[in-house]
Copies of this chain bind each other. A is one copy, B any other.
Amino acid sequence: MTNSPNRKPDKSKTAMLVFQPSGRRGQVPLGISIVEASRRLGVDIEAPCGEKQVCGKCKIRIEQGSFQKPSIESSCLHAGPWQAGEEKYISPEEKENGYRMGCVATVEGDLLVFVPEAARAGKQVVSKAPRPLDITINPAVKQYYVQLVPPSLEDPAGDFERVCAALEKQYGLQSLCIDLSVLRNLHDVLNAGAWEATITVWMDQEIVHVQPGSGSRIFGLAIDVGTTTIAAYLCDLVSGQVVDTLSMMNPQVKYGEDVVSRISFHMDNPDGLKRMSADLVEGLNSLISQALAREYPLSTANEIDRPESDQVIRIQPEDILDVSIAGNTAMHHILLQLNPEPLGVIPFTPLVNHSLDIKARELGLQINPAAHIFILPNEAGFVGGDNVGVILAEEPHRQNQIQLIIDIGTNGELVLGNKDRLICASCATGPALEGAQVEFGMRAAPGAIERITIDPETHHVDFKVIGRDPWRSYSKPGEMKTKGICGSGILDAVAQLFLAGIVDKSGAFSKHQFSKRFQIHPETGMKSFVVAWAEETSIEKDVVVTQQDVRQIQLAKASIYTGCKLMMRKLGVERVDNVKIAGAFGSHIDCKLALVIGMFPDCAMDRIASVGNAAGDGCRMALLNRDKRVEADWIADNVQYMELTLEENFQWQLMEAIHLPHMTDDFSHLQGIL
């Protein structure tokens, strides 16, 4: 067997891998998949399915070491034998040219691997600017300036007692404790400030920072950890002002696009949970480093007495003294290294609902080590702290009107109700709205089609690509450099295809086609509609929307619509007073078109609002107002979770909602708008 290509790989040995076009290279153990190798070398290959071999996105080309090339000596059969499932995604011609699925092909020796543009995990355009919010500034962490009586033989009390006495006398604070790391510096700091100091206290309970004299400004971070995207707001803890907004892809995307893939990665890998958690913490630390590297103008909004000036400041790690984190339950569990497995099996219980306070040093966040991190509570196994944030920001529990909140991220979460009762649900939108499991789907990254119009008369298509302002009509074909279609583009396409009569109410392509853009695949018989011709792309292929893509969007919108309807039934309401669309995706979509395809129950157009990253807003409120933390736990405790799949008629309702638009609502009032 020694020379057979089927020999068991020796995992103690390594091979040299080089990835093109990035040029990243390094030694990796034999036997691992090429996708796994790409992760270890910092090359991100798209693997939305979490290496389940069902998405075909991770198609790569073996340039050297391939067993396909007879010119290379037999010892170079370095990517393992061809596997049964690969022909599903790789054509015979592609196979001939060395294409493999990166999640199937393994490292059996030195390899040169080319990652085609389509398989490269691009950097998503993250647009999560903070909304102006009316927040009462009452942060968990506050600074107190004290002047102390120096110790003497007559009054030889300890330094800590001296500080406590001053804080009680000047500010009424009582029964304080102190972080050990702060206590260790206390004497030197008090001495350095000649017994004048600025003391930072967490929740009127614990001294977490001590600075000589009048101290420096202190900051907090509100972090919204999404499955795909992380957004962080750096806030001045005195003025409440948002000093900076930072964002990045969730580094865990490399382990799979959705939470189920991540949970699977944990279950399949003994150290999977630790690795995903460490990657996330590393990601958060890189966001923090970005903030620390920048210069910020000294704000006059700061209430602490400092002269106005044009000076800029750079923030030090120890100046960041509070963090609030909101994420869905899976992100929450993975971050804290809590076993996420129970989230995926009936009855889908989290390990904990309640909010948590965790020391920064315990999580490994590179801020002030004594700072506490506030983790927003979870509502249920599928509805986490991000939804609590949405409710904190939108406050349906304080209103008389019946509000419907649809938070469309990688998962869909729904909230319905008013001050009397609130219910929430999670709906399986599938990843289509994020651009995954769609033929030419991609994330909202440069090169993605984000807007589409189709002329009902001529079937002429116009479109706009992320990263380029002029629409197709005002550009030369070669300037578009289209790579694929993102979520809002797909939604546009389906609505426009329907409005143009190209697909009918059932979502099927109409039999009466006259457009040359209508194609039928000669082998599979799959119908499709060309949005961008090959010469308008950078991938040298027509970018199309297939019949299956339309079905994916139909399923997603049906899922949301059914969820809303079942929740309305549960709450006993016929109509909602207003609808709020939250989430980054929600702020990109055209609400009218979403209503056209029947994504949510009918509502007057002026009662529909896109509220952007409401989860991040709520997280920021929890950072800046300690009462919101109590409210967050109240919300998690009082919002009633509803498992949609257990509802009577769920399947039937879902099937009915598949239609474009669904059959039960009347959209005549939209005619004038469209």
Contact = CB atoms under 8 A, between A and B. Distances in A.
Interface of A: 151-153, 155-161, 164, 177-178, 180, 183-184, 186-188, 336-339, 342, 346-354, 356-358, 362, 378, 380-381, 641, 643, 646
A381 B177 CA distance: 20
A338 B183 contact: yes
Specify the main secondary structure of chain A where it touches its partner: loop
Contacts of A349: 151, 156-159
Contacts of A352: 158-161, 178, 183, 186
- Number of copies of chain A assembled together: 2
Contacts of A643: 153, 156
A349 B184 CA distance: 14
A164 B352 CA distance: 10
Given A152-B347, A180-B356, A349-B151, A339 B160 contact: no
A388 B131 CA distance: 56
Contacts of A356: 177, 180, 183
Given A184-B337, A338-B183, A358-B180, A160 B347 contact: no
A159 B347 CA distance: 12
Contacts of A153: 346-348, 643, 646
A161 B354 contact: yes
A180 B353 CA distance: 13
Contacts of A188: 339
Given A180-B362, A183-B352, A338-B184, A347 B158 contact: no
Of residues A339, A357, A358, which shows the largest number of chain B Cβ atoms within 10 Å of its Cβ? A339
A118 B414 CA distance: 81
A337 B356 CA distance: 29
Given A156-B348, A161-B352, A351-B160, A187 B342 contact: yes
Contacts of A641: 156
Contacts of A155: 347
B156 A351 contact: no
Contacts of A336: 180, 183-184
Contacts of A187: 338-339, 342, 351
A507 B348 CA distance: 84
A197 B338 CA distance: 19
B158 A351 contact: yes
Nearest to A190: B351
Contacts of A159: 342, 349-352
A164 to B, nearest CB: 8
Given A153-B646, A339-B188, A646-B153, A183 B347 contact: no
Contacts of A357: 177
Nearest to A339: B187
A636 B295 CA distance: 48
Nearest to A375: B180
B183 A353 contact: no
B184 A347 contact: no
B156 A347 contact: yes
Query: Which 7 pairs show the lowest CB-CB distances between chains A and B?
Result: A160-B352, A158-B353, A151-B349, A158-B350, A153-B347, A158-B352, A156-B347
A250 to B, nearest CB: 21
Nearest to A175: B354
A186 B177 CA distance: 28
Given A180-B358, A356-B180, A358-B180, A351 B152 contact: no
A179 to B, nearest CB: 10
A351 B159 CA distance: 5
A356 B187 CA distance: 17
A357 B180 CA distance: 9
24 contacts: A153-B346, A153-B347, A153-B643, A153-B646, A156-B347, A156-B348, A156-B380, A156-B381, A157-B353, A158-B349, A158-B354, A159-B350, A159-B352, A160-B351, A160-B354, A161-B353, A177-B357, A183-B336, A183-B351, A183-B352, A184-B339, A186-B352, A187-B338, A187-B342
A303 to B, nearest CB: 31
A255 B353 CA distance: 51
A609 to B, nearest CB: 31
A347 B224 CA distance: 50
Contacts of A358: 180
Nearest to A357: B177
A630 to B, nearest CB: 12
Nearest to A152: B347
Given A151-B349, A156-B349, A159-B351, 19 more contacts: A153-B347, A153-B646, A156-B347, A156-B381, A157-B353, A158-B350, A158-B353, A158-B354, A158-B378, A159-B349, A160-B351, A160-B354, A177-B356, A180-B356, A180-B362, A183-B338, A183-B352, A184-B337, A187-B339
Nearest to A181: B362
A161 B355 CA distance: 11
A347 B180 contact: no
B353 A160 contact: yes
A296 to B, nearest CB: 32
A158 B643 CA distance: 15
Interface centre among A156, A184, A347, A353 (most CB of B within 10 A): A156
A378 B158 CA distance: 9
A152 B153 CA distance: 65
A337 B183 CA distance: 9
